[in-house]
Amino acid sequence: MKKFLLKTLGFAALVLVLAFGLDWLICRGLLKMDDYRFRDYSAMLKGGMDNDILILGNSRGKSHFDTRVIDSLSQKQSFNLGIGGYPINAQLLKYHLYREHNRKPALIIQNIDYMTIRVMSDIRHQHESEQFFPLVYDKVMRKELRESGYGFLELNMPLYRFFGYQQVIKNGLMEALHIKHYSRPSYKGFLPEIGQWNGSELARMKPENVVLSEEGKALFEDYLAQCRADSIQVVLVNSPLYAGAREKLLGYDDARVYFEQVAEKYGCLYFDYTDTPECQDTSNFVVSVHLNDRAARAFSETLMEDLKSRIIIE
Amino acid sequence: MLFNSLEFAVFLPIVFLLYWFVFEKNLKLQNLFIVVASYVFYGWWDWRFLVLLAFTSLFSYGSGLLIEKYRDTPRKAKTVNVLNIVVNLLILGVFKYYDFFATSFANAFLGGKTDGLLLKVILPVGISFYTFKALSYSIDVYRGKLEPTHDVIQYLAYVGFFPQLLAGPIERAMNLLPQLAKPRSFEYEMGVDGMRQILWGLFKKMVIADNCAVYVDRIFSSYQTQSGSTLLLAAIFFAFQIYGDFSGYSDMAIGVGKLFGFKTMRNFSFPYFSRDMAEFWRRWHISLTTWFRDYVYIPLGGSRCSKAKIVRNTFVIFLVSGLWHGANWTFIAWGAFHAVLFLPLILIGKNRKYKNTVAEGRLLPSLKEAGQMLLTFILATIGWIIFRADSIGQAWDFMRGICSPSLFSRPDASGVTGFCLAIFVMLLVEWLLRDREHGLDLSGIKSGAVRIVAYLAVLFMVFALGGHAVNFIYFQF
């Protein structure tokens, strides 16, 4: 029995050591990939990013705010921290990582919409949740991940969080071992939606209540208060949404009232583009909630003009 | 509790250490501990069904004692034995088959109206397995093949033995009770082999079965729109899914048993290396096949009777075996399909032609053997289509879809590379070790370093290719 236990423990120790090494190697590979899911994080973790303007939001934030246009029209450096499929708590997780390692921005353009003011209490196994895997090595992020559903095992047991993510494991290893380089780049975080209008998504969309959860509101307002304390100007932007989709969002006007009130309370500017003529035209959209590349460029130009007119940007 | 769950990864070492270090000195306590651990293991799923498990165990235990008491009055002994069979089958029937037969009755005679007719009860996990264990015990006692145990703890440990509780193997009391009756000591070689077998079972379940399941479920749910080649690929993957799932579970169950000092029966013996269907059935789900052979087929006369009776007996055993798997006409049709395949072999007396290992003493099979194995696999796979389908109509449409001109088009093979490689590795390893008990029986390799590298390689595949956990198929039976 003694021999059995000793050999079993020895083997388990060997497996544990190798698992730690493999975990580190895969994470290193992922962060080396030129892939929008990981590129933002590797840049942020390296530190030294020097952006005047940050864009925060979900997939609409990621695909509507063209950093090429914003850089060019503002003559300043911008970066898009949009995170597809996630509400405010995950958006702030990414922002906190940015702030931990990089200089604070002067201006934040915060995309707000029907999905923003809620909290996703568990970010594991969600859309592209593999983007969080390498963050367990960052002290501050460990705390944030714990608050967002990561348990003891995800945070401390090597490789545990990778189970079932075969492609991610393969990509990370191939990249780390220099066997293959993966490239799905974004432009400074901006990820344009390429494609033609596809109405099937709208046809499937069911009427949905706009949720403004109390937890989400508290988190959102804490963040706005902190920005004000840090002298960071925040602009709340409700970016274009196809009119047909808006009709299916119940309680949409209550949300707009909330955004107006909160903007006033925390000294933010508030722009709402969901009533513009562009929102009536399907040729501007790929799906009802995502502008296409061309329309995103035009929208970003409009936004920059509006910001200039309010003397936010010279 | 699933073998491939985190709960079990915590449960097993705790039970193992307590079993060998705290309760080792006292056999009664050690057996009692098995009962407690087994009931915790089962109750983890739904504690309410522990009552059912305990009732089944105690009823058959009492039956055994009464049969012994009435040894000199055979009529009474027979009554007790029949009563035990009826009560156990009644419980099984209510929980597993009542709704199926009620629905079939309603469809046939009431225009499909089932109002107030269905019980809609949950199927208790593993009920078919532990019920069959309890039945075999009283029948063996009645037949005088087994002395009944007077130790109720021992008997509860036999029926509830946690490694086999949810999906077998359907262990015979003749094998397990004597092991429970004598003091056990830890054997190093058996312990190590148990660990290897658990690892191999994990590989088959998590890498082969769980990955195949994703593909198979996708194709079966949209079979009307898939090409013939894709349907064929899904059928082949299901053959590997069910093998990986069930034999993987059995390997883990047997391996866990070994850690606790029990040699339990083998349940799979590389069935896809069979040269005909008779050999396939000697290698697939051995504990169930032999159960039906001993308690249904032979009492009916087996193959030592007229040809008409042989036909009847063969159909009975396969139809009942099909029905055992679930309350659906597809399972009955699957049983009938295998009966039709098996019957010619038994009628011409060739059902026991291949009793040895294929290509014994050779690395590669002959062309004839390879052809025989391929044909057996194809026939088994046709059977699996019937088994997997939701209805006989779906099975028929699925097979018609395979036989369409699109069979020669390129199949939808997106995302299958990884687990195709794993299936290849499994087949290669099992072929090389086909005369051993399981695919990771590396006791013949002298170098410890080579063995460790092999274990690490399997572990790495479990990690890198492991699919999202899918429930064991056989839990539903």
| CA–CA gap between residue B64 and residue B149 (Å, rounded) | 8
Closest chain A residue to the Cα of B189, Cα to Cα: A4
At A274 the pLDDT is 92
| CA–CA gap between residue B375 and residue B367 (Å, rounded) | 12
- Closest approach of B464 to chain A, Cα-based (Å): 6
| CA–CA gap between residue A58 and residue A82 (Å, rounded) | 5
Q: Which two tokens stand for residue B355?
A: 């009793």
Cβ atoms within 10 Å of B1's Cβ, excluding its own: 18
Region of B326 (left: φ > 0; alpha: ψ -120 to 50; beta: rest) is: left
pLDDT (tens digit per residue) in A1-28: 899 999 999 999 999 999 999 999 999 9
Average pLDDT over residues A282-307: 96
Using omega within 30 degrees of 0 as the cis cutoff, is the peptide bond preceding A158 cis? no
Strand partners, B149: none
The dihedrals phi and psi of A52, each to the nearest 5 degrees, come to: -85, -30
Q: What is the DSSP string of chain A?
A: -HHHHHHHHHHHHHHHHHHHHHHHHHHHHHHHSEEHHHHHHHHHHH-----SEEEE-SHHHHHHS-HHHHHHHHTS-EEE---TT--HHHHHHHHHHHHHHSPPPSEEEEE--TTTSS--S--TTSTTGGGGGGGGGSHHHHHHHHHTT--HHHHHSTTGGGTT-HHHHHHHHHHHTTS---EE--BTTB-PPPS---THHHHHPPPEEPP--HHHHHHHHHHHHHHHHTT-EEEEEE----HHHHTTEETHHHHHHHHHHHHHHTT-EEEE-TTSGGGG-GGGEEETTEE-HHHHHHHHHHHHHHHHHTTS--
Residue B5: pLDDT band by 50, 70, 90 thresholds? Answer: confident
Does the structure show a pLDDT above 70 at A135? Answer: yes
- Alpha-carbon dihedral of residues A71, A73, A75, A80, nearest 10 degrees? -20
- Closest approach of A151 to chain B, Cα-based (Å): 13
- In B343-372, the residues whose Cβ lies within 8 Å of chain A are none
Task: Indicate yes or no: CB of A162 within 8 angstroms of CB of B463.
Answer: yes
- In A162-181, the residues whose Cβ lies within 8 Å of chain B are 162-164, 166, 169-170
pTM of the model: 0.87
Q: Chain A to chain B, count of Cβ pairs less than 8 Å apart?
A: 36
Say which of B285, B325, B338, B438 is annotated catalytic: B325
At B428 the pLDDT is 96
Nearest to B54 by CA among B136, B147, B124, B145: B124
Candidates A1, A2, A168, A177: best to mutate against B (most CBs of B within 10 A) is A1
pLDDT (tens digit per residue) in B167-176: 879 999 999 9
- Closest approach of B450 to chain A, Cα-based (Å): 13
Q: Which residues contact B73 (CB under 8 A, 6 or more apart)?
A: none
At B45 the pLDDT is 84
Average pLDDT of chain B?
A: 92
Q: Does A11 contact chain B (CB < 8 Å)?
A: yes
Task: Indicate yes or no: CB of A11 within 8 angstroms of CB of B20.
Answer: no
- Note whether A210 and A254 are within 8 A (CB): yes
Nearest by CB: B188 against A4, A153, A162: A4
At B379 the pLDDT is 97
pLDDT (tens digit per residue) in A216-267: 999 999 999 999 999 999 999 999 999 999 889 888 888 999 999 999 999 9
Does the structure show a pLDDT above 60 at B412? Answer: yes
At B387 the pLDDT is 96
Nearest by CB: B463 against A8, A153, A159: A159
- Note whether A203 and A287 are within 8 A (CB): no
At A251 the pLDDT is 87
At B212 the pLDDT is 94
Residue ranges of the domains in chain A?
A: 19-309
Task: Indicate yes or no: CB of B191 within 8 angstroms of CB of A4.
Answer: yes
* Residue B195 with chain A: CB contacts under 8 Å: 8
Please state whether beta strands A34-35 and A285-287 pair in parallel, antiparallel, or not at all (unpaired).
unpaired
CA B62 to chain centre: 27
Residue B471: pLDDT band by 50, 70, 90 thresholds? Answer: low
Nearest by CB: B468 against A8, A164, A170: A164
- Closest approach of B40 to chain A, Cα-based (Å): 23
Does the structure show a pLDDT above 70 at B472? Answer: no
- Note whether B231 and B243 are within 8 A (CB): no
| CA–CA gap between residue B284 and residue B239 (Å, rounded) | 12
Cβ atoms within 10 Å of A270's Cβ, excluding its own: 18
Does the structure show a pLDDT above 80 at B313? Answer: yes
* Residue B186 with chain A: CB contacts under 8 Å: 1, 4
At B26 the pLDDT is 93
Task: Indicate yes or no: CB of B464 within 8 angstroms of CB of A4.
Answer: no
At B351 the pLDDT is 87
Nearest by CB: A169 against B191, B464, B467: B464
Task: Indicate yes or no: CB of A14 within 8 angstroms of CB of B452.
Answer: yes
Q: Residue B376 in 3-state DSSP?
A: helix
At B113 the pLDDT is 80
pLDDT (tens digit per residue) in B375-386: 999 999 999 999
At B73 the pLDDT is 93
Task: Indicate yes or no: CB of A164 within 8 angstroms of CB of B195.
Answer: no
Average pLDDT over residues A163-167: 89
pLDDT (tens digit per residue) in B147-192: 999 999 999 999 999 999 988 799 999 999 999 999 999 999 999 9
Nearest by CB: B467 against A18, A164, A169: A164
User: Lowest-confidence range among A48-52, A232-236, B109-113?
Assistant: B109-113
Residue B477: pLDDT band by 50, 70, 90 thresholds? Answer: low
Residue A205: pLDDT band by 50, 70, 90 thresholds? Answer: confident
At B474 the pLDDT is 60
Q: Give this complex's ipTM.
A: 0.82
At B122 the pLDDT is 79
Closest chain B residue to the Cα of A163, Cα to Cα: B463
Strand partners, A48: none
B325 annotated active-site? yes
At B475 the pLDDT is 59
pLDDT (tens digit per residue) in B37-51: 999 999 998 888 999
Average pLDDT of chain A?
A: 93
* Residue B191 with chain A: CB contacts under 8 Å: 4
Residues constituting chain B: 477
Q: Which two tokens stand for residue A114?
A: 């029907």
Residue B161, CA distances (Å) to B42, B128, B172, B443 in order: 10, 15, 12, 27
- What burial class does residue A178 get, using C-beta atoms within 10 Å of its C-beta: 0-12 exposed, 13-18 middle, 19+ buried? exposed
Task: Indicate yes or no: CB of A163 within 8 angstroms of CB of B20.
Answer: no
Domain spanning A19-309, CATH architecture: 3-Layer(aba) Sandwich (3.40)
Q: What residue type is B37 in one-letter code?
A: A
At B124 the pLDDT is 87
- In B179-198, the residues whose Cβ lies within 8 Å of chain A are 186, 188, 191-192, 195
* Residue B455 with chain A: CB contacts under 8 Å: 11
At B181 the pLDDT is 95
The dihedrals phi and psi of A272, each to the nearest 5 degrees, come to: -120, 120
Cβ atoms within 10 Å of A229's Cβ, excluding its own: 8
Does the structure show a pLDDT above 90 at B368? Answer: yes
Does the structure show a pLDDT above 80 at B119? Answer: no
At A86 the pLDDT is 94
Residue carrying structure tokens 């390879």: B370
Does the structure show a pLDDT above 70 at A312? Answer: no
Q: What is the DSSP string of B87-149?
A: HHHHHHIIIIIHHHHHHHHHHHHSTT--TTT---PPPPTTHHHHHHHHHHHHHHHHTTSSPPP
pLDDT (tens digit per residue) in B247-276: 999 999 999 999 999 999 999 999 999 999
